Structures are given as structure tokens and as C-alpha cells.
């Protein structure tokens, strides 16, 4: 039996209709005669979703008991034993109760698929492992249940269940997602329009990436090399020349005409690593420009530039390729078509744009490269060419009768090669011409004349000159390439070092000053009509660009000025590349500073939003209850019985107590933050305070205090409030045990519960005001209890810390000084 097929309904948020769509598909499959069963579906009390179950076979769930409570989970064995064609299994990212067959439901689904059963399931985008932290940053709500992206990507079919934020909020307001009492809190927190819009975009982008993968896989499986214009992808070719920024902006405008188009920039380097026409500084600036426009920068290696460009464009499924018009002279264009025309001829279905630019009309001469050899070697070469040739001739004359002309030519050729190795091409060419004349005059019949009678002698001398010229050219080219390679290696090492400085955040300008032995390096920024120093190394600094020996204009507002020596063209190229990196580092630093400056405002706004959202609900609920009870009692239309009146009065009293406690918590938190909370520290016996606090919480609290427990220094009223808060929190999940013990000069009070607990990484976050972990219980409390409890404890000179309860749960530890 083969593996089953997995179909997933993906949603951006709870309530968009994933389960409804899954059940609808199950019903349609059943109508087509397929054997369909419901393995596990959670309707969350939604009537329309429950209606979709009509007519579908529902398999019994597996019952498990954990920490004294009963739970139900998917029965994997029952599904496999039933052997249906299709199993409907909701909530793929669900974490199973301890004791289940697998830890995660997606592992259950893997077993069912391996048994040859097709599965239809659901998942929300916030449960995808790769997006979990992004969703928490957007919504402020951590998601503990996740599913690996690869599990979802392996699905045979993924269908997005989409809904606009406004439509989902209307659905919630009508009570079709959560219970009415939870709607206000949900709309004010997790289900804000901004949150839903961001989650929707995440889901669409993730699914688009999945579709791209499927398209690439299909094209590869079917050997399709042509371009499919599923999405516009614009590739711009950069050479490092002055036209680069023009090309990038033009390509960005082309990409902007199509919604969702991609912009990619590519630079082709030669296989030998030498690219004399590419300016590192220009490439760095152009790369920064591409990334600022939302594009990506790529670098490929290839000696055949047109073929390398088209291979890259085809590989990324590009639809358009932007090239700069040729900067070569007309004669050069006549002799060879050039990159632009060759690429256009080979482009096939890819549209090629040849963009004119300023450099087209004013083609600059290529920069003169440095001499391949040092001055000393060139001088030695000229000396050999002018002096060694006559000396060789004088030495050969006594042996003229014993040497043939070919032997004499070989000796002269050997000397020419030596001149080329020492002095390069021009001394060697001079030696070759000089040697031709000497050979003709002294050794070629008729002697002492420039006449050559035998044609083979003329041919031998001409070949001598040609071989000497070719050898000289090869030697000079090899020396030049060696020097260029050394220069490129040095430049790469310098740029790598500087890039490392940027990444490590080390002083960049100081490192540049050391590398080139400069007196000072100054980064200047325009400030109106003058310049101001942004950063500097060494001294004295340059106060304006003209005060330095060399200056590099980064943009219209930034200039790097150096003082100490005049840098040559090759060093200036590296300096320009570095200047561009320095500008990027400066902008990054300023963005970081702005972000840090905005962080307190963001935190304040976040707290304000949380406060308004929480308080608006928690004030509204007790007020509404008390108002309804009082209005009912005042009504003359109904004759209430005594029992009804007592119940209404109890409801009003309970609501007003909740309202009073909320206002007290808010006032105390304000006093704590303002530092004006009044304290009355005195000797307190815990055996008196703890029972009173437990009585306020109810029967869920068990007390186990030793008889010899010493008194502590505390404010009895505040300590009782702290204990009530902590006991109440624990009692929401399980019975609470309160114990205490003395340790040195302090007493530790432990409030122990067996509830779900809190992850260790969230232990400190729960003490922030208006924080509640999870999005399932946002309607209970404003999230002030723990923050207020810690604040009150610290005000009394104590500490409040959480730790995990052995075997599961949470233990809150209050430490107070022993009264002396």
C-alpha cells in the first residue's frame, strides 16, 4: 500500500473558516462515494461548523487522564484499524497530552499517511515554526504549539482559507468565532486590524514561496528551461561603471509597474578573479542602492559575460534583463558586437532592455594601469638591451667562422628573452630590433652591409624579430597579471578586514588610517552651508573636504577626507569602497539609535494599549453586571421573590467587589511606579495572615505551615493582598498548597500549584504589567496581579520569584526578612 496524500487548509488566524472548509471537502468527498471519517475535529462551539458534521462518521476519541483531569485526543490506532480512504484531522500543530502515542498531532498524521490513508488537516500561519517568532513580535502573543515548516511543505496540496481583516472582525462581533463575553478582549488585542493584516500577508507570502518551489520543481522535472512569466523578475547587470545607478533605478521602475515583481542585480567577474574595469566603490554603492530599493545583489563567475548573464537570468526565471548601452568606441563596436548585442541575440524569451546613459555619450578612456615591473627592473632591461647586445656581438665575432646563422640567431634570441624577463616588453622589443640590425650587419652575407642575398636568411631574421616580440609580450603580460593579482589580493584583504571591522563594530576610521599610514581620516556631513565632523581618527581633523590630501564624495551630504599623503588611483578605489561601507555603517548606527530612542515610546504605547484594552473590558463587565442587577431590583414590572432578590444583590455585590479590587490594583500600581506607596512594616505572624488570605480564595487552598515559624517584617495588609493574588492565580488551574520555611535570616513562603506552568523563558515576562501568556484567556483580569505582587513584595524588602513545580506546575516563592 502506498503513502497517503496530505491536504492542508492554511489560515492567517483563528476563525477564518479552515475547519469549516475541511468538513465541507469531507462532505463533498463522501457524496462522491469516498469513504470518509472524522478522526478529530474541534468545533469550538461554532454552530455552523458543527452542522457540517452531519452525515459524517465520527470515530471515538482516546480518553486520557493527566494531573487529575480528563482529556480526549486523536485515536491513531482506531483510524488505522478503520482503514478509511480519507481522514479529517483538525489542528495539525496541536500538542498531545502527555501519555499519548506521539508528542505532536502532526506525528500522528505521519503515521496515518504511512498507512496509506489520505488526510485533510488545518493549520494557522502562526503555528509554522519559521514564523513563530515573527508572529509573536507582531501580536505580542507567544505560540507554544508549532509544526515544522517542512511537514507542511511536504503536503501534496495546500489551500489558503483567506478572509479580509474587516470580515473576520465582523464574524467575531456576530459571535461566530468566540463566546460573546470574550469578543471585546479578542478584538482589542490579538484580532486588531493591523495584526490580522500582517498575519494575512505572512500567510500569502509563505504560500507564494511554496508555489514557487512547486513551479521550480515542475520545470526541473520536465526539463523546461524557458522562462515562465508567473511573476515578473527583473535582472539588472552591473559592471561597476558610472552607469550602474542609472540602470538600477530604471530596473526598479520597471519592476514597480508589476505588483509583487522581484528586482535582482548581478555582477559577472572573470574566472581568474581579475576585473580591472569594475570599480569596487561603485559596486558597493550600487549594491546598497539595490538593497534600499528592495532588491537583492548577486555575483557570478564567468569569462563569457553574455552567457553568464543569461544562465543567471534563466536560473532565477527572470522575465526582463536590463543592460547598459555600450561605452566602447565605434571602431570597437564594429570589430565585435559586445555584451549588449550578444546577450540580446541569445536571450530567447527574456526581454532585454538596453538603457542609454551619460557615459554612452562621453565614453571615458580606460584608466592607465600601473607599469607591470618596477623602475629598477625596467632600467636594468634597457641597459641590457643597449649594452649587452654590442657585447654579445663582440664576443661572437672571433667565432664567426665556427657558428652558423641559426646558431647566432638563437644566441641573440636568448639574450632578448633575458631582456624581456628583466625589463619587460619595450626593452625586449628594442633589443629585438637592435639584434636584427647587428645580425644583418655582422653575420648575414654580404657582411658589413644591410643587404641580404639569401631569402632564407631574411626569413630567419624576420622570425627572430617576431618570436622576440611575442615572447616579450607574453612575459610582460604575465608580469602585469601577476602584479594585478597581487594588487587584487591586497585590495580584497583590505576590504575583508574593513568588512570585518564593520561586522564587529570596531573603529573603522582608525583601521583605515593604520592601513595606509595616514595622519587623519575624517567623515564629514553637510550642515547647511558648512560641514560638521561625524567621525574621525588621528589628527588634526579636516574641517571641510578641501582641507584633506584626498577626499571621496560618498553622496551630496557625506564626504570622507584623509590627510597624510596623496593616494594613487588604485588605493583610491579601495578608499571609495570603504567610504561607501562607512556611510552604510553610519546610517545603520543612526537607525539603531533612532530605534533605541523610540523603544521607550513604543513600550509606553504598548502598555497604554494593553491598559486601555484590558481595563475597558474589566471595567465594563462588573459595571454591566452590577447595573443589570440594580436595574432589575428597581423594576416595578416584575415581582421578585426573596431568593431572586438575594441572588441579584449577591451579583451586584460580587461585581462591585471585583470593580473595587481592580481600582485598588490600578491605584497601587500607580503609587508603586511613582514611589509614593505608604508602608507600615511590623512584626507579622504568618499563621495569622496566610489563613485569612486563603479564606478569600476559597476551598482550593491547603495550608501546611510549621509551628515554629518565626515572625517576618512586612505590612500585614499588603502581604495579605500579595498572598490572595498568588493563591488566586494558582487556584484557577489546580488546588494550591501553601508552605513556609526559614532559611538563615529570611522566611520563604511557597505557593505551589499543579497547573500548566510557565516556560522558563517567560518567568520574568509574566511580571510585566498588563501581560498575559497565551490568547485563550485574555478576558480574565488586566494582567496586573503578578506585577503588583512583585512590586508590593519588593516594597516590603522581600523578593518574589517563580520556579517550576517538580512534576509540573508553578511555584511562587516569597522571601521576607525575619523580624528581629
C-alpha cell at 602: 513604543
Phi, psi (deg, nearest 5) at residue 182:
-100, -5
Alpha carbons within 13 angstroms on the beta-carbon side of residue 147 total: 29
Quote the CA–CA distance of 429 and 420 in Å, as a whole number.
8
pLDDT at 744: 85
* Alpha helices (H) in 675-755, listed in sequence order: 686-697, 716-731
The H or E element spanning position 191 is: none
Task: Give the other-Cβ count within 10 Å of 474's Cβ.
Answer: 12
Q: How would you label 304-337 residue by residue, b for 16+ Cβ within 10 Å and e otherwise?
A: ebbebbbebbbebbbbbbbbbbbbbeeeeeeeee
Burial of 613 (0-12, 13-18, 19+ CB in 10 A): buried
The H or E element spanning position 268 is: strand 262-269
Specify whether the CB–CB gap between 677 and 668 falls below 8 A: yes
pLDDT at 372: 55
Pairing of strands 810-817, 746-752: antiparallel
pLDDT at 367: 44
Rounded-to-10 torsion of CA 448, 453, 455, 460: -10
pLDDT at 774: 41
pLDDT at 369: 43
Residues 6+ apart with CB under 8 A from 482: 372
pLDDT, tens digit, 9 for 90 and up, residues 738-783: 999 998 889 999 999 988 888 887 777 777 755 544 433 433 444 5
Secondary structure (DSSP) of 295-361 = -EEEEEE-SSHHHHHHHHHHHTT-SEEEEEPP-S-HHHHHH--HHHHHHHHH-TTSEEEEE--HHHH
The residues that bridge with 553 in the sheet, in sequence order, are: 559
Alpha carbons within 13 angstroms on the beta-carbon side of residue 370 total: 18
Q: Which of 122, 62, 57 is nearest to 96 (CA)?
A: 62
* Alpha helices (H) in 732-803, listed in sequence order: 785-795
pLDDT at 672: 55
Residues 6+ apart with CB under 8 A from 422: 377, 380, 381, 384
Pairing of strands 6-11, 36-40: unpaired
pLDDT, tens digit, 9 for 90 and up, residues 515-528: 777 888 888 888 88
Phi, psi (deg, nearest 5) at residue 531:
-125, 145
Mean pLDDT per 10-residue segment, the chain (820 residues): 89 90 93 94 87 92 85 92 94 90 92 94 89 79 83 89 86 76 68 83 77 61 54 85 86 80 85 56 80 84 82 82 75 63 82 76 46 73 87 85 81 84 82 84 79 74 80 76 68 60 58 77 85 85 81 80 74 72 77 80 59 55 79 80 85 80 66 62 92 86 91 89 87 90 91 87 72 42 65 88 87 92
Q: Which of 620, 619, 623, 626 is nearest to 651 (CA)?
A: 626
Residues 6+ apart with CB under 8 A from 19: 9, 41, 42, 43, 49, 90, 122
pLDDT at 669: 58
Q: Where are the beta strands (DSSP E) in 631-765?
A: 682-684, 701-704, 712-714, 736-743, 746-752
C-alpha cell at 679: 508602608
Q: Which of 489, 491, 512 is nearest to 502 (CA)?
A: 512
pLDDT at 426: 83
Amino acid at each position: 500500500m502506498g503513502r497517503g496524500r496530505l491536504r492542508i487548509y492554511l489560515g492567517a488566524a483563528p476563525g477564518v473558516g479552515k475547519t469549516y472548509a475541511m468538513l465541507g471537502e469531507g462532505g463533498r468527498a463522501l457524496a462522491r462515494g469516498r469513504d470518509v471519517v472524522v478522526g478529530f475535529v474541534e468545533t469550538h462551539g461554532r454552530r455552523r461548523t458543527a452542522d457540517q458534521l452531519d452525515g459524517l462518521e465520527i470515530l471515538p476519541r482516546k480518553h486520557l487522564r493527566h494531573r487529575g483531569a480528563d482529556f480526549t485526543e486523536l485515536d491513531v490506532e482506531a483510524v488505522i484499524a478503520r482503514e478509511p480512504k480519507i481522514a479529517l484531522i483538525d489542528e495539525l500543530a496541536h500538542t498531545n497530552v502527555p501519555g499519548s502515542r506521539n508528542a505532536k498531532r502532526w506525528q500522528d498524521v505521519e503515521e496515518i499517511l504511512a498507512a496509506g490513508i489520505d488526510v485533510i488537516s488545518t493549520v494557522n500561519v502562526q503555528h509554522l515554526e519559521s514564523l513563530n517568532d515573527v508572529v509573536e513580535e507582531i501580536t505580542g502573543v507567544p505560540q507554544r504549539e508549532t509544526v515544522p515548516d517542512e511537514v507542511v511543505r511536504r503536503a501534496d496540496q495546500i489551500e489558503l482559507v483567506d478572509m479580509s481583516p474587516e470580515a473576520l472582525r465582523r464574524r467575531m462581533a456576530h459571535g461566530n468565532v468566540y463566546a460573546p463575553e470574550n469578543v471585546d478582549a479578542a478584538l482589542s488585542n490579538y484580532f486588531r486590524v493591523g495584526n490580522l493584516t500582517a498575519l494575512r500577508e505572512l500567510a500569502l507570502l509563505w504560500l507564494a514561496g511554496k508555489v514557487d518551489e512547486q513551479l521550480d520543481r515542475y520545470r526541473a522535472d520536465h526539463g523546461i528551461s524557458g522562462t515562465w512569466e508567473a511573476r515578473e523578475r527583473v535582472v539588472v547587470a552591473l559592471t561597476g561603471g558610472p552607469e550602474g545607478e542609472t540602470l538600477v533605478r530604471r530596473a526598479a521602475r520597471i519592476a514597480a509597474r508589476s505588483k509583487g515583481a522581484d528586482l535582482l542585480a548581478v555582477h559577472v567577474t572573470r574566472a581568474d578573479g581579475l576585473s580591472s574595469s569594475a570599480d569596487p566603490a561603485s559596486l558597493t554603492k550600487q549594491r546598497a542602492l539595490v538593497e534600499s530599493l528592495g532588491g537583492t545583489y548577486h555575483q557570478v563567475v564567468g569569462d563569457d559575460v553574455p552567457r553568464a548573464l543569461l544562465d543567471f537570468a534563466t536560473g532565477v526565471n527572470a522575465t526582463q534583463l536590463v543592460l547598459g548601452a555600450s561605452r566602447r568606441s565605434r571602431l570597437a563596436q564594429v570589430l565585435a558586437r559586445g555584451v549588449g548585442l550578444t546577450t540580446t541575440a541569445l536571450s530567447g524569451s527574456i526581454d532585454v532592455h538596453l538603457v542609454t546613459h551619460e557615459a554612452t555619450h562621453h565614453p571615458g578612456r580606460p584608466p592607465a594601469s600601473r607599469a607591470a615591473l618596477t623602475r629598477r627592473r625596467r632600467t636594468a632591461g634597457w641597459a641590457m638591451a643597449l649594452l649587452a647586445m654590442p657585447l654579445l656581438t663582440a664576443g661572437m665575432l672571433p667565432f664567426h667562422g665556427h657558428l652558423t646563422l641559426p646558431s647566432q640567431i638563437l644566441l641573440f634570441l636568448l639574450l632578448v628573452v633575458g631582456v624581456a624577463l628583466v625589463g619587460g616588453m619595450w626593452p625586449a622589443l628594442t633589443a629585438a630590433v637592435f639584434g636584427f640590425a647587428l645580425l644583418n650587419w655582422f653575420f648575414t652575407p654580404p657582411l658589413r652591409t644591410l643587404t641580404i642575398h639569401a631569402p632564407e636568411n631574411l626569413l630567419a631574421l624576420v622570425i627572430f624579430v617576431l618570436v622576440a616580440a611575442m615572447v616579450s609580450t607574453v612575459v610582460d603580460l604575465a608580469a602585469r597579471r601577476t602584479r594585478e593579482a597581487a594588487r587584487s589580493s591586497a585590495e580584497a584583504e583590505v576590504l575583508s578586514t574593513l568588512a570585518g571591522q564593520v561586522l564587529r563594530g570596531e573603529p573603522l576610521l582608525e583601521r583605515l588610517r593604520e592601513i595606509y599610514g595616514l595622519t587623519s581620516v575624517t567623515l564629514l556631513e553637510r550642515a547647511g552651508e558648512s560641514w560638521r565632523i561625524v567621525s574621525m581618527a588621528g589628527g588634526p581633523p579636516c574641517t571641510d573636504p578641501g582641507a584633506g590630501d584626498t577626499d571621496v564624495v560618498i553622496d551630496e551630504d557625506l564626504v570622507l577626507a584623509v590627510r597624510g599623503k596623496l593616494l594613487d588611483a588604485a588605493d583610491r578605489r579601495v578608499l571609495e569602497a570603504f567610504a561607501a561601507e562607512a556611510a552604510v555603517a553610519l546610517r545603520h548606527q543612526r537607525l539603531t539609535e533612532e530605534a533605541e530612542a523610540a523603544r521607550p515610546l513604543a513600550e509606553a504605547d504598548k502598555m497604554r494599549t494593553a491598559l486601555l484594552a484590558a481595563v475597558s473590558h474589566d471595567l465594563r463587565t462588573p459595571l454591566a453586571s452590577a447595573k443589570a442587577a440594580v436595574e432589575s431590583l428597581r423594576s416595578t414590572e416584575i415581582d421578585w421573590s426573596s431568593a431572586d432578590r438575594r441572588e441579584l444583590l449577591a451579583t451586584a455585590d460580587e461585581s462591585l467587589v471585583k470593580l473595587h479590587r481592580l481600582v485598588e490594583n490600578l491605584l497601587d500600581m500607580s503609587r508603586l511606579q511613582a514611589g509614593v506607596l505608604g508602608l507600615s512594616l511590623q512584626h507579622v505572624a504568618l499563621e495569622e495572615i496566610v489563613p485569612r488570605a486563603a479564606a478569600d480564595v476559597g476551598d482550593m487552598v491547603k495550608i501546611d505551615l510549621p509551628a515554629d515559624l518565626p515572625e517576618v517584617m512586612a505590612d500585614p495588609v499588603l502581604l495579605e493582598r500579595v498572598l490572595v493574588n498568588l493563591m488566586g492565580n494558582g487556584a484557577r488551574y489546580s488546588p494550591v498548597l501553601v508552605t513556609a520555611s526559614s532559611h538563615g535570616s529570611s522566611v520563604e513562603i511557597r505557593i505551589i500549584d499543579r497547573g500548566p506552568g510557565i516556560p522558563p523563558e517567560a518567568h520574568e515576562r509574566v511580571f510585566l504589567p498588563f501581560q498575559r501568556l497565551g490568547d485563550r484567556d485574555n478576558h480574565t483580569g488586566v494582567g496586573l496581579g503578578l506585577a503588583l505582587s512583585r512590586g508590593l513584595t519588593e516594597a516590603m524588602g522581600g523578593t518574589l520569584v517563580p520556579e517550576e513545580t517538580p512534576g509540573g506546575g508553578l511555584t511562587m516563592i516569597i522571601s521576607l526578612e525575619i523580624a528581629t
